[in-house]
Amino acid sequence: MLYHREFGSGKKLIILHGLFGMSDNWASIARNLSTHFHVFLPDLPNHGKSPAQHPFSYDTMMQSFMEWKEEQQIEKAVVIGHSMGGKLAMKIALEYPDFVEKLIVLDMGMRDYSSLNKQEVLLGKMLEIPLEKIQDRSVFSELIHKKIQNERLENLLLKNIKRSGGHFEWKSNPKIIHDNLPNIYAALHSEKEYNGKTLVIGGELSDYIRKEDVEMMRKHFPQMQFVQLKNAGHWLHVDKRDDFMSELQMFL
């Protein structure tokens, strides 16, 4: 069963994190939203405190999600998804439209993303790190800095380790994720439509949503609104937190 955090009470709202993310990354936003919503933050399979899952794909993630929501007795919810979580949110909305009250997708389209190749490079560097031999967090931090040289990704990976005995382990499962990357990159194919209210927010500085992505999504989400946040990259909810929250609250 998926691990989750929850905040507040009232109408149900679920936030699905991206690749290498976890529920903890969204806690401050969840607390903000919890004045009006009962917010659920699940860790997706192979992430955070949730179980390993192989094969790992949108189909298997959706199955785990649906089992989890039944366990939590959530009959209907607003669903927000970022990056990988955004593609999963779209799949859930298309397959189970009655469950999704409103859909919010953050910087993600329906196309195949293998050409970006960003995650494969990062995973390769993660798998090179001998975590089982590292006993000091500062040593890990130094190794990550040398390999990644990107402050945001470094911080993301620093949150992805946990102490186990006298050494560290990954909270996520980089080996399974690496072996299943084609499934995560894969395009979302469907003949269905979701006719509920839909908001897609992209980052102006991100390469994840192009004009043709917006056109493709409109075919499946006819009530879709598209907003682009200026001076925001892929982590738009971090880059432009106030603008992001403003767009979110107006839509909700």
Q: What is the pLDDT of residues 20-33, one digit of tens each?
A: 999 999 999 999 99
- 91, 119, 155, 163 from 177: Cα distances, Å: 19, 9, 19, 21
Model pLDDT, residue 115:
87
* CATH, residue 60: 3.40.50.1820
For helices 84-95 and 211-220, give the axis angle rounded to 10 degrees.
20
* Residue 197 and residue 140 share a domain: no
* Residues 106, 8 within the same domain: yes
Tokens representing residue 217 in the block? 């999504």
**Scanning the structure block, which residue is given the tokens 């949110």?**
89
- Do 175 and 58 reside in the same domain of the chain? no
Helices 118-128 and 137-148: angle between axes, nearest 10 degrees: 140
Q: How far apart are CA 22 and CA 19, in angstroms?
A: 8
For residue 107, what are the domain limits?
4-111+188-251
- Which amino acid is located at 154 in the chain? E
Domain match, 135 and 87 both: no
Residues 86 and 144 in one domain: no
- Same structural domain, 207 and 100: yes
The verdict on 46 and 23 lying in the same domain is yes
Q: Which residues pair with 212 in a beta bridge?
A: none
Looking at the structure, tell me whether residues 97 and 198 fall in a common domain: yes
Which residues of the chain carry a pLDDT beneath 50?
none
pTM of the model: 0.94
- For residue 89, what pLDDT is reported? 98
The pLDDT value recorded for residue 121 is 79
In the chain, how many domains are there? 2
- Residue 168: in which H helix or E strand, if any? strand 167-170
Q: So what's the pLDDT on residue 233?
A: 95
Residues 100 and 201 in one domain: yes
